[in-house]
Amino acid sequence: MAKAKLTIQFGTKDITIRCHKCKGLDFDIPREPKPEDLITCLGCGESGPYGEITTAALEKLHQKRDEIISVLIRGGKTTH
């Protein structure tokens, strides 16, 4: 286990995940995390399985992207 930032790949971007409780960026993460490995926030001690955290984060990112797309369609007036 080592102090590290938790990042996931989303498309071509690396997204850094924050702790949902304290917004901390430092986690105790195994060098090669497996889905069932526990990730612990060094700020508040909150922990969860690596697989669940990354899956939830990806879902949120997808939702956010859908939100942006739907807003753009709803407000879809051409400017020229």
Of 12-20, 29-37, 50-58, 66-74: span binding Zn ion (CB under 5 A): 12-20
Nearer to Zn ion, 17 or 33 (CB): 17
> Does residue 68 touch Zn ion according to CB under 5 A?
no
Nearer to Zn ion, 19 or 39 (CB): 19
Give just the sign of the alpha carbon dihedral 23, 24, 25, 29. negative
Of 3-11, 15-23, 57-65, 71-79: span binding Zn ion (CB under 5 A): 15-23
> Does residue 46 touch Zn ion according to CB under 5 A?
yes
Nearer to Zn ion, 22 or 69 (CB): 22
Which DSSP string do the residues of the chain spell out, in sequence order? -EEEEEEEEETTEEEEEPPTTT---EEEE-SS--TTSEEEETTT--EEEHHHHHHHHHHHHHHHHHHHHHHHHHT-----
